[in-house]
Amino acid sequence: MLRRSVFDPRESGNRRMIVAQVRGASVVLWDGARFREATVAKRARTAASVDFSFVAVGDRVAVEGDAGAVRVTSIEPRQSFLGRVARGSQDRIQVLAANAEQAVIVASVADPPFRPGLVDRWALLALRGGMTPVLALNKVDLSTRAAAGRLVDEASIPLEAIYLSAVTGEGLEDLRSCLAGRTSVLVGHSGVGKSKILSRIFPAEEIVSGELSGKSGKGRHTTASARMYLLPGGGHVIDTPGVRMVPIGPMHYTEVAEVFPEIHGAPLCRFRPCSHRTEPGCSVKAGVESGTVPGVVYRRYLRLLEEVGTE
């Protein structure tokens, strides 16, 4: 019989944990059994790429230390990330969440109104970071399920869509089964209901969602920083703060086309690569004429091109 090898201090003192929250210079880690605070060693910080946030929720890290004080010594390379251009910088990526399989893009049918262009942007960021984008259209109680379906159909959103209401609970089971056993991140504009949805899925957790607060009725509790919640059957969900802008940052126009199947899957154009804007012999423009490429899709594509350029 094989004898277990002699005690290696690194086996007990150097373990892997998941970042559940980032609090300035310190982090909250999930060690598989409980959450614990930890600091980040300088060498972990300096080893990270300067182009990306050095630590993000969902990161897997190696730690040293004991029950008293845990320290992150290194951050593992990310399997996937959801990032956007950091404010005030064109080339630094702020990583909202790491290592999730899917990005659940939360939108609402009303209050705030549904904006297909934002769904495209999030889908682009998800695909770029190696995550599968899924749409969760919330607040169907403010309209009807059928009308919500029409919003998505008319915009020709190419994603798997879940329709739900965090208030009535309609569709919540569909979302639950979409999340079960997977690692996901919820993204979307402020006020669409991300936290409210999670408070229905994790009733035991204290999740502050944006009810009007205070005597004046003004001031909303919005999520201040990303946080990870654990699913009982395995997997986790990361709640993120709503962002006002979703700049897609530096990207080639051919990447933009990838988010629109009607454009991406169009027959080859005469010139390649083709920006499908002004080039002669463009099959996408022909498709818009003949109706195989919906006009709404083409217009959203053109709007994104204005941001990335066609050079």
Ligand X SMILES: Nc1nc2c(ncn2[C@@H]2O[C@H](COP(=O)(O)OP(=O)(O)OP(=O)(O)O)[C@@H](O)[C@H]2O)c(=O)[nH]1
Binding site residues, ligand X, CB under 6 A: 138-139, 141-142, 165-167, 188, 190-196, 209-211, 222-223, 241-242
Residues that bind Mg ion (CB under 5 A): 194-195, 223
Is 263 near Zn ion (CB under 5 A)? no
Q: Compute the least distance from the CB of residue 256 to Zn ion, in Å.
A: 13
3-class DSSP state of 286 = helix
* Side chain identity, residue 170: E
- Rounded CA separation 82/114 (Å): 21
Measured from the CB atom, the residue of 80 and 195 that comes closer to Mg ion is 195
Q: Compute the least distance from the CB of residue 164 to Mg ion, in Å.
A: 16
Q: Token digits for 8?
A: 């290696």
Measured from the CB atom, the residue of 165 and 183 that comes closer to ligand X is 165
3-class DSSP state of 35 = strand
Measured from the CB atom, the residue of 211 and 311 that comes closer to ligand X is 211
Question: What does 53 interact with, of Zn ion, Mg ion, ligand X, none (CB < 5 to 8 A by kind)?
Answer: none
Measured from the CB atom, the residue of 229 and 253 that comes closer to Zn ion is 253
Q: Token digits for 58?
A: 């969902």
Residue written as tokens 């090898």?
Answer: 5
Measured from the CB atom, the residue of 162 and 284 that comes closer to Mg ion is 162
Q: Compute the least distance from the CB of residue 209 to ligand X, in Å.
A: 3
Is 257 near Zn ion (CB under 5 A)? no
Measured from the CB atom, the residue of 59 and 239 that comes closer to Mg ion is 239
Q: Token digits for 124?
A: 């682009």
Question: What does 269 interact with, of Zn ion, ligand X, Mg ion, none (CB < 5 to 8 A by kind)?
Answer: Zn ion
- Rounded CA separation 160/9 (Å): 47
Question: What does 14 interact with, of Zn ion, ligand X, Mg ion, none (CB < 5 to 8 A by kind)?
Answer: none
Question: Which sign, positive or negative, has the C-alpha torsion 190, 191, 192, 197?
Answer: positive
Nearest to 87 by CA among 250, 222, 308, 246: 246
Is 282 near Zn ion (CB under 5 A)? yes
Cα 201–202–203 angle (5° rounding)?
A: 105
- Tally Cβ neighbours within 10 Å of residue 171: 20
What is the CB-side half-sphere exposure of residue 235 using CA atoms within 13 A? 16
Question: What does 167 interact with, of ligand X, Mg ion, Zn ion, none (CB < 5 to 8 A by kind)?
Answer: ligand X
Binding site for Zn ion (CB under 5 A): 269, 274, 276, 282, 284
